[in-house]
Structure 1
Amino acid sequence: MSNVAFINQLIKLYDPELRRVTFRRCGCLETAADIVQETYHRMSSGNLWQQADNPRAMLHRIAANLATDHERRNRVRSRHAEQAGLSSEELQPADGLNPEQIAVARQRLDKLVEAVNTLPPRCRAVFILRKFENLSQAEIAERLGISRNMVEKHLRHALQTLQKIDEQ
């Protein structure tokens, strides 16, 4: 049996199990998928599949070793982050975005913050109470001593202003 055919057979037989076990260990689907992929690569590249008495056990051992390596790297990264005064979350990519996407998103956020700050004071207060403090229109009206109709007008004005800025 060829290398490719044997690895394909292993994938068909053990992939769901290997992914499930690896996911339980690392807690991230993407990381588990990467580890499993690397497991197949190592199994095929070193012709380990020819030496294995029990290919299933060897797959699990390789995946466990790779997961251990991943955990060690994360611990080292966290330790260095703590020493630098950063949280480990600050070192992680933001939702898989590249630096250019992050910069564009920050510029967009800066423009929106600037636009919120240019809203008339009452309009800005209504917007902040609704969007950031999650108050209902009735609660906002009561807190600011204005009618619900005025709350709706202020919200509409704020959203239209922010939408124009966002479209630019």
Structure 2
Amino acid sequence: MVTDEKSPLLHMLTLHYADLVRHLTRKLGSAASARDVVQDTYLRLQHLPAETPVHSPRAYIFRVANNIAVDHLRSEASRARYFTSALAPDQALDEPPADSVIDYRQRLEILEKAVAELPDRCREVFLMHKFDGLSHMEIAGELGISRSMVEKHIMKALSHCRDRMADLLD
């Protein structure tokens, strides 16, 4: 169903377009790839019903975009495996070694699982702070909880993630 009005999520995406592109450019290392991921995010959000309940629209949009970015990185790594075999043995690449890319992606998957295991409110606070860059006071105001509770949620989330990734950390 196509309507003339944008859904609230699409409206939020257009408001935070520049922030999202900057975030994804840091993650992907390419502004062009970041813009592609934002376009894919727009297309994915376009298929959601306008009345889809989302507690934190900006965090939700960033999460969708991050998931698409991870898929993009996986796709690029897969393509790189096939194309690098055709390169001359002494030809230098501008990319990190494939084993490093795979290692970092595996670490990212473990971290994503750890974040998904958090209680809903704790995960929401953590994502708002780490991915949206909101301060403790901004989160407290938006969620109607105390600053102290925000700090407790963030500390709990960090501790949980550290425990899950203990084997990977030096």
Asked if TM exceeds 0.5, the reply is no
- TM norm structure 1: 0.45
Bigger RCO (CA 8 Å, 6+ sep): 2
Between Structure 1 and Structure 2, whose CA radius of gyration is higher?
1
